[in-house]
Structure 1
Amino acid sequence: MALIRPELIPVLMRWREAAFGAALLTLGLWWAVTSFGVLRWVGVTLIVAGAAVLRSGILRLMRPGDGGGAGIVTVDERQITYLDGFGGGVLSVEALVSVAVSRSPAGTLRWHFTDTTRQRLTIPTDAEGAERLFDAVVALPGLSEERALSALRHASTELKSVWHRPQPRLTS
C-alpha cells in the first residue's frame, strides 16, 4: 500500500524546492525571533538561505512544463538538438544570434532560435526534455531568468524577441 498516491508524486516533486525554501525560512524566523545568542544568528542565516531557495523554487515553478508535446530535446555540451516527426535540427549555443518566443494558434509556447548561418530552429516548450532549454537560454550573456519568464508569460502569436547577440563595437 502506497503512502502517497502515484499521480501526486510528480506534483510534489515539482514543488519540492519551493517547499524546502519555505521550511528553511520558517525555521529561521522561529529561531531568530524566539532564541538568543548564536542560535539567533543561525536563524538569520537560515532566513537568508531559505529566501534564496524559495525564490529559486518559485522561478522554477513558473517555467513551462515538460513532456507531452511533439519531439525530443537534448542539450549536451552547449549544443541544442531537437528531433521530431518532421526532422528537427541542431544548433550550438555559442553560435546563437537571436532567441524569440511565440504562441502557436493552438496555444503552445515555442522557442525560436537563429544562429550565425541564419539557420532557424523552432522548439515547443512542452517537448520532452525542453526544460533544459531554459537553462541554456538564461546562460546567454545579458539575459536574465526573469526576462525569459516574462517573455514566455506574455507570448502572443507574433514573434517576440527575447535576446540578440550584442554587436561588437568598432574602435578606431
Structure 2
Amino acid sequence: MADFFRPEARAFLWRWRDVLAAALLGLFGLWWALNAAGVTLWLGYLGIVIALGWGIAGVQRARFASHGDGPGVVQVRERRLAYFGPLDGGIMDVDDLTQLTLDPTSHPDPSWVLSGVGGQRIAIPINAAGADDLFDVFAALPGIRTAMVLDVLERTPDAQVIVWSRARPVLH
C-alpha cells in the first residue's frame, strides 16, 4: 500500500494531514448538525468549532514544515531542545531562550538561531530532521506572534531578522 501514492503526493498529504483531518471532522460535524436533534445537534456544532480551530492550527503547522533533509537532527523532550549537527550542536532549555532569530545567510541552509540566558547560541537549519517540532516550541514562547514567524520564514529576508526576544533576567 505504501507504493500506491507517489512520494511527492505522500509528502504533500503528510504535510497537510491536520488540515485534511479537520476538514473531515468539520464535514462530519456539519452532517450531524443538519441531521440530528437535541443534544446531538449541539455536538455537531461543537465538532464544527473544533474543526475550525484545528484547521487554522494545521495550516500554520503546514506552512512551517520543511522537507527535513538538511544537516542535523532536532529533538524536543520535556521542554529541552537539542540539536545534533554534523559540525556543531547544543542543548538548551526552552525556558532559557532569550532571542529567536532567522539567519538566511547561514550555510548551507537558512537557520534558526536560538540564544539563551548564559550567552549560548544554537543555529538550527530550517530543514533539519525534526525541525517541524520547533513550531510547538516557538508557539509556546510568551508574546510571540506565529503569523510573523511564518511570514518571515516565507519571504526569506536578506539579513538576520529577530523574530522574538525577551529581556534577560537580572541576577542582582
TM over 0.5: yes
Gap runs ≥5 in structure 2: none
Two-structure CA RMSD over aligned residues (Å): 2.7
The answer to whether the 8 Å contact 1:66/1:130 transfers is no
1:5 — aligned with what?
A: 5
1:27 — aligned with what?
A: 28
Gap runs ≥5 in structure 1: none
The answer to whether the 8 Å contact 1:63/1:149 transfers is yes
- Aligned-partner Cα distance in 1 for 2:25–2:11: 22
Q: AA paired with 2:49?
A: V
How far 1:2 sits from its partner (Å)? 5.8
Task: From the superposition, tell whether residues 2 and 129 of structure 1 become closer, same or farther in structure 2 (CA, over 3 Å).
Answer: closer
Q: After the TM superposition, which residues 48-67 of structure 1 pair with which residues of structure 2 at under 5 Å, given as runs? A: 48-67=49-68
Q: After the TM superposition, which residues 63-142 of structure 1 pair with which residues of structure 2 at under 5 Å, given as runs? A: 63-104=64-105, 108-142=109-143
TM-score by length of 1: 0.81
- Aligned-partner Cα distance in 2 for 1:134–1:166: 22
How far 1:10 sits from its partner (Å)? 3.3
The answer to whether the 8 Å contact 2:80/2:93 transfers is yes
1:98-151 CA-partner distances (Å, limit 9, x unpaired): 111132377833101111222222111101111122211221111133232223
1:162 aligns with 2:163: yes
- Secondary structure, in 3 states, of the residue corresponding to 1:101? strand
Task: From the superposition, tell whether residues 92 and 3 of structure 1 become closer, same or farther in structure 2 (CA, over 3 Å).
Answer: closer
How far 1:62 sits from its partner (Å)? 0.8
Q: Give the paired residue count.
A: 169
Q: How much identity, in percent, do the aligned residues show? A: 32
- Secondary structure, in 3 states, of the residue corresponding to 2:134? helix
